[in-house]
Amino acid sequence: MNSNEQETIRLCQSGQTEHFTALYEIYVEKIYKFLYFRTFHKATAEDLTSEVFYKALDKINSFDSKKGQFSTWLYQIAKNSLTDHFRKNREHLDIEAAWDISSTESISNDTENRIALETVQKYLSGLDPRQRQIVIMRVWDGLSYKEISELLKISEANAKMIFSRTLNKLQADIGISIITIILVLINYNQQL
């Protein structure tokens, strides 16, 4: 966390909540993508994003930089809000689907990318939920290993190892290079 971010948080915690806008601007797109890639519904992701920042502002005094990064704290609020959303809408939605990859309907018309993404998507859907979460958080959400480790309550080294082994296994099992896999996933992420 940089010193400007720390100062902004300190100001917000001292009651000068008008400074929260700076934090919102830094994280709104990241939190939106985090939620969108788990709901695959624009309006729901927008609503949940608003809810996350409302909760963060409301609970800003509970943030303690000694316990972790602000970004991790914010992602934890997003994760909890998402879980609450799926619990409330249980009859319509499967919470496990929140961690799956979206359908290929909105993917680029590039046939090669579509085929590669479909192959990766099929493979990822068969992974252990923790492996899938780590790959999605790292590639889709762009989270650091430290942020992933804090969110999933595992060591940073374990997050790195799971990510690396999962991508290596993916490459060995389906014969697509890791670079192709990551480029396809990143390309899909940027088309949002």
**Residue with token string 């479909």:** 118
Bigger pLDDT: 181 vs 81: 81
| Distance separating alpha carbons of residues 14 and 156, to the nearest angstrom | 32
Q: How many CA atoms lie within 13 A of 82 on its CB side?
A: 26
Q: Do 139 and 166 meet the contact criterion of CB atoms below 8 Å apart?
A: no
Where residue 110 falls among pLDDT bands split at 50, 70, 90? Answer: very low
Stated pTM of the model? 0.65
Domains in the chain, ordered, with CATH?
Answer: 3-88 (1.10.1740.10), 101-190 (1.10.10.10)
Where residue 133 falls among pLDDT bands split at 50, 70, 90? Answer: confident
Q: Is the pLDDT of residue 96 over 80?
A: no
The pLDDT value given to residue 113? 53
| Distance separating alpha carbons of residues 124 and 134, to the nearest angstrom | 11
Most confident of 13-17, 86-90, 93-97: 13-17
| Distance separating alpha carbons of residues 81 and 158, to the nearest angstrom | 26
> What value does the mean pLDDT of the chain take?
80
Q: Do 88 and 47 meet the contact criterion of CB atoms below 8 Å apart?
A: no
Q: How far is CA 113 from the centre of its chain?
A: 22
Please write the tens of the pLDDT for every residue from 141-162: 888 899 999 999 999 999 999 9
The pLDDT value given to residue 112? 57
Bigger pLDDT: 64 vs 142: 64
Q: Do 121 and 104 meet the contact criterion of CB atoms below 8 Å apart?
A: yes
Bigger pLDDT: 151 vs 185: 151
| Distance separating alpha carbons of residues 58 and 54, to the nearest angstrom | 6
Please write the tens of the pLDDT for every residue from 8-36: 999 999 999 999 999 999 999 999 988 88
